[in-house]
Structure 1
Amino acid sequence: MRRQLSTWEFDICEMAFGAYLAARAQGTDIVAIPVFPMRGFFHTNFAYHVHSSINSPADLANKRVGIPEYIQSAAVWARGILQHDFGMDPYQVQWYAERGGADSTGAVLGFQPPKGIAIQQTPGGKALVPMLSAHELDAALVGRIPQSSTGDGPESNVRPMFRDVIVEGKRFFDQHGYIPANHTYIIRGDVLHKHSWIGANLYRAFQEAKALVQKSLPENIPSGLVFGAEYLARTREMFGEDPFPYGVARNRAMLEKVIQFSQEQGLISERPTIEQLFAAGND
């Protein structure tokens, strides 16, 4: 994605919401199609060190909290949800970003965090999990909650912010009605202007591909997932037959929210309309 943001050499590219919104706000001629390949309850990926006096997300105030990068879409969702659903104030947190300099999306976009946000890069770009395990951070947004195989290593002092991520995910879905998406697909404006049919055709192709995958899921559960069929049934019971809908209409509430969070967190100064962000005819 950083390569695309630097050169714009690809006609079509998967892109994170944060980068897409920031690039468009700078005047880049790109348009998205309402296809969302990545979703999750990203705030449940927060973990904390047991000696950090953290009992809830609100306790992150005045703590050292690691994130992969400020502009990262998963971090945007996680901060916004912890702020609005759990009372965390992002302006009272000392943030540490793992990615910085030329390796960061923010650097490619020339992005600067808003005034009042305290953020610095981890020393030498040190990874978040080792820092959290060593209590050099109090909490961090990580892709996998570390676990010690022996129960007595440094990772044994790391705990998930939400002990039962399924319960928390269901709470969020029941309250808000969607699973947050952090990526979409964008088309360069010059390509779409020249070939106006591309947006609708791509959207239809992604819809058909998703239908094929959903149909084949029950027959393709890895044998190593002993209760895979049960978890698939439970997932569909919680979220319906299609928990990953495409299109603008079925995702409007989610899209309004990620735009809101992006403005609140300083990625953009003004909120675009959803119609400005997505190619027409993909409702």
Structure 2
Amino acid sequence: MPLTLRLAVRDWDYLTPLALGDVSSPRLNLVIDRVGTLVSNVAKDEAHDAAEMSFSRYTQLRHDGDESIVGIPNFIMRGFRHRCVITTKNSPITELGQLKGKRIGVTGWRDSGNTWTRAALRREGVGVEDATWFAGRLTEAHPITDRLDGFGRPGRIEAAPGERPMVDLLRAGELDAVFTPFMPDGFYAEDSGLRHVLENYRGAEIDYFNEVGYVPGMHLIAFKADFVSEHPWVMDEISELVDESQRVWLSKRRKYADTTPWIIEELGRVSQDLPASWNASGFAVNEKMIADFAEELHAQGILPKLLTPADLFPLHKRGE
């Protein structure tokens, strides 16, 4: 009888073949729960056996010696971050290095994406101590929550003034730039008054890839450790299913290319600009990216101890 596994993930389009059953395993009865908000800790969630999880929060648990969850080096969400820095259309800032000494808003201090964005700035000479940071909600529609997560420092890292939306602060000239993983509604409208800091962010991201050799990973799949202990084969099985779902999805996008007027051109450009392995799963192929992320968490003061890739993925470390 197939093993039932309850998996919570965001509604990623490339998982559609898996969600519909076009990609399946005779060993698994996979129940996919599409969620808008990530499960913070699947070990404490009775509704799921595995879940999409922030790489940063997963790393924090491993750092703290919490072995109630175990992750697989299959990064279900990846993305470059140069595009995620926005400013106003009348701002003179056009390069990341120009943010030194400026006021920068972030949607969450320890978030994986914002950690990678700060890493991109650090490569341009702008470290945590080189700017003034404010954590807050992006727009009025977003909830007021604690986005400092214990990392606040008066005069350096503070909550957004009066919990005002950061887009409003940006437009009012009280912030010079904002980090955001998702563009605010209306961002691309002619009258939005907002733009990416980097006009040619794609070029910057290609250069970044050529320098570091990877597309940054933000989210992975984490399992209840007890579940994996009882069914040790299940992690590799899920990883293979996710990979196959992505292959099937990409094949169909190339065939049924009328989803948007030019999606076929975009898929072609990705093939030209990046190797086919840009989103490959597995420990060895992602080891450098994992190590760099751990280094950033340490350098940015989020984790006191520097972890190794083997610390983070003990069941997948090289040679085992």
* 1:123-156 alpha-carbon deviations (Å, 9 max, x no partner): 34333222212222111012227647454xxx42
In 2 relative to 1, CA 253–6 (structure 1 residues): closer, same or farther, beyond 3 Å? closer
Whether the 8 Å CA contact 1:44–1:162 is kept in 2: the answer is: yes
Match of 1:210 among 246, 251, 254: 246
**Unaligned residue ranges in structure 1 (runs of 5+):** none
* 1:35-72 alpha-carbon deviations (Å, 9 max, x no partner): 11111111321012356553432222232111101001
Q: Which one is further off, 64-73 or 207-216?
A: 207-216
More helix, by proportion: 1
In 2 relative to 1, CA 32–147 (structure 1 residues): closer, same or farther, beyond 3 Å? closer
Q: Which one is further off, 239-248 or 98-107?
A: 98-107
CA shift at 1:237, angstroms?
Answer: 1.0
| Structure 2 partner of 1:76 | 115
Match of 2:103 among 53, 56, 64: 64
CA shift at 1:232, angstroms?
Answer: 0.7
Q: Which one is further off, 159-168 or 56-65?
A: 56-65
Q: In the aligned structure 2, how far is the partner of 1:200 from the partner of 1:117?
A: 46
CA shift at 1:233, angstroms?
Answer: 0.6
Q: Does 1:126 align with 2:161?
A: no
CA shift at 1:262, angstroms?
Answer: 0.8
Q: Does 1:168 align with 2:204?
A: yes
* 1:234-263 alpha-carbon deviations (Å, 9 max, x no partner): 111111234211111111111111111111
What SS does structure 1 have at the residue aligned with 2:286?
helix
Q: In the aligned structure 2, how far is the partner of 1:227 from the partner of 1:94?
A: 40
| Structure 1 partner of 2:8 | none
Q: Does 1:261 align with 2:303?
A: no
Q: Please, what TM-score do these two structures have when normalized by structure 1?
A: 0.85
Q: In the aligned structure 1, how far is the partner of 2:62 from the partner of 2:143?
A: 21
Aligned-pair identity in percent equals 23
Q: In the aligned structure 2, how far is the partner of 1:269 from the partner of 1:38?
A: 26
What SS does structure 2 have at the residue aligned with 1:13?
strand
Whether the 8 Å CA contact 2:135–2:157 is kept in 1: the answer is: yes
CA shift at 1:34, angstroms?
Answer: 1.2
| Paired letter, 1:236 | S
Q: In the aligned structure 1, how far is the partner of 2:73 from the partner of 2:253?
A: 23
Q: In the aligned structure 2, how far is the partner of 1:77 from the partner of 1:250?
A: 19
CA shift at 1:21, angstroms?
Answer: 0.8
In 2 relative to 1, CA 105–126 (structure 1 residues): closer, same or farther, beyond 3 Å? closer
| Structure 1 partner of 2:84 | 45
| Structure 1 partner of 2:285 | 250
Q: Does 1:4 align with 2:46?
A: no
* 1:212-236 alpha-carbon deviations (Å, 9 max, x no partner): 222222024344x222211111111
Whether the 8 Å CA contact 1:91–1:117 is kept in 2: the answer is: no
Whether the 8 Å CA contact 1:14–1:183 is kept in 2: the answer is: yes
| Structure 1 partner of 2:93 | 54
Q: Does 1:197 align with 2:229?
A: no
Quick one: higher RCO (CA 8 Å, sep 6+), 1 or 2?
1
**Unaligned residue ranges in structure 2 (runs of 5+):** 1-37
In 2 relative to 1, CA 255–32 (structure 1 residues): closer, same or farther, beyond 3 Å? same
Q: Which one is further off, 186-195 or 53-62?
A: 53-62
Q: In the aligned structure 2, how far is the partner of 1:203 from the partner of 1:149?
A: 39
Whether the 8 Å CA contact 2:109–2:147 is kept in 1: the answer is: no
Q: Which one is further off, 140-149 or 160-169?
A: 140-149
Whether the 8 Å CA contact 1:33–1:279 is kept in 2: the answer is: no
Q: Which one is further off, 48-57 or 71-80?
A: 48-57
Whether the 8 Å CA contact 2:107–2:147 is kept in 1: the answer is: no
| Structure 2 partner of 1:228 | 263
CA shift at 1:5, angstroms?
Answer: 6.8
Q: In the aligned structure 1, how far is the partner of 2:228 from the partner of 2:102?
A: 46
Q: Does 1:22 align with 2:60?
A: yes
| Structure 2 partner of 1:185 | 221
Q: In the aligned structure 2, how far is the partner of 1:14 from the partner of 1:162?
A: 30
Whether the 8 Å CA contact 2:148–2:158 is kept in 1: the answer is: no
Pairwise mapping of residues 109-148 of structure 1 onto structure 2 (< 5 A)?
111-112=150-151, 118-142=156-180, 143-144=182-183, 147=187
Whether the 8 Å CA contact 2:99–2:126 is kept in 1: the answer is: yes
| Structure 2 partner of 1:89 | 127
